[in-house]
């Protein structure tokens, strides 16, 4: 995304972020849940979203997954991406995010949350930078500070990651290096 397309207020908020927590279903995935005949779940994740999360970690920004649903698939994706804060079965995502901020010794203004629907509203309202994918539910869109250009499961999380990297002056170095961290 062209840096000129970010609103100044969003860039200012993004420059302060030290932790970003992502909802999973409908944010890192397209929201579809697939079960085989044995009841085993599968999900589709976008590789660009994963690369964005890895880039954030290498830039020193903490990352987390916070989901209301327990899911071995989500736990496996978190491990694959090197995310140490994977919180599954969370009834209050805001409480979970507050606990993480406290553990890290940071203010809620230094936390971003990306979600898409009703279970995410409190967390979106309680952080310094609220992000939603382009196809977020209409209830989530009004509380967002920024709506990504792409849909959930199709690069929306990468859009959020790129925003943080740009706002914190890290994107130029990444592009000049031009290789996987």
Let me know: does 104 contact 62? Beta carbons within 8 Å: yes
What pLDDT does residue 1 have? Answer: 46
Domain boundaries, the chain: 8-177
User: Would you state the structure tokens that stand for residue 146, as one six-digit string?
Assistant: 């920024």
What pLDDT does residue 3 have? Answer: 52
pTM of the entire predicted model: 0.94
| Beta strand spans in 78-133 (E) | 85-88, 111-114, 129-132
Closest-CA residue to 64 (of 82, 80, 83): 83
CA 136 to centroid of chain Cα atoms: 13
User: Would you state the structure tokens that stand for residue 60, as one six-digit string?
Assistant: 């020193």
User: What 3-state DSSP class applies to 20?
Assistant: strand
Let me know: does 161 contact 83? Beta carbons within 8 Å: no
Residues in contact with 103: Cβ distance below 8 Å, sequence separation at least 6, in sequence order: none
Instruction: Tell me the CATH class for 8-177.
Output: alpha beta
What pLDDT does residue 101 have? Answer: 98
The model's pLDDT over 14-67, given as tens digits with 9 standing for 90+, comes to 999 999 999 999 999 999 888 889 988 889 999 999 999 999 999 999 999 999
In angstroms, rounded to a whole number, what is the distance separating the alpha carbons of residues 119 and 27?
12
Q: One digit per residue, pLDDT tens: the chain, 181 residues? A: 455 589 999 999 999 999 999 999 999 999 988 888 998 888 999 999 999 999 999 999 999 999 999 999 999 999 999 999 999 999 999 999 999 999 999 999 999 999 999 999 999 999 999 999 999 999 999 999 999 999 999 999 999 999 999 999 998 888 888 877 7
């Amino acid at each position: 995304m062209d840096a000129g397309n970010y609103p100044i207020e969003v860039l200012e908020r993004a420059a302060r972020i030290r932790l970003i927590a992502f909802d999973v279903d409908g944010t890192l995935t397209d929201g579809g849940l697939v079960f085989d005949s044995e009841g085993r779940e599968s999900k589709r994740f976008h590789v660009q979203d994963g690369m964005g999360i890895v880039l954030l970690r290498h830039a020193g920004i903490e990352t987390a997954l916070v989901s209301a649903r327990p899911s071995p698939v989500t736990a496996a994706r978190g491990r694959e991406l090197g995310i140490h804060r994977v919180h599954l079965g969370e009834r209050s995502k805001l409480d979970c995010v507050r606990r993480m901020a406290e553990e890290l010794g940071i203010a809620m203004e230094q936390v971003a949350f990306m979600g898409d629907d009703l279970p995410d509203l409190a967390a979106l309202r309680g952080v310094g930078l609220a992000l939603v994918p382009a196809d977020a539910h209409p209830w989530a869109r009004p509380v967002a500070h920024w709506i990504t250009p792409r849909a959930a499961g199709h690069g929306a999380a990468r859009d959020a990651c790129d925003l943080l990297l740009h706002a914190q002056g890290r994107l130029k170095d990444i592009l000049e290096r031009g290789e996987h961290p």
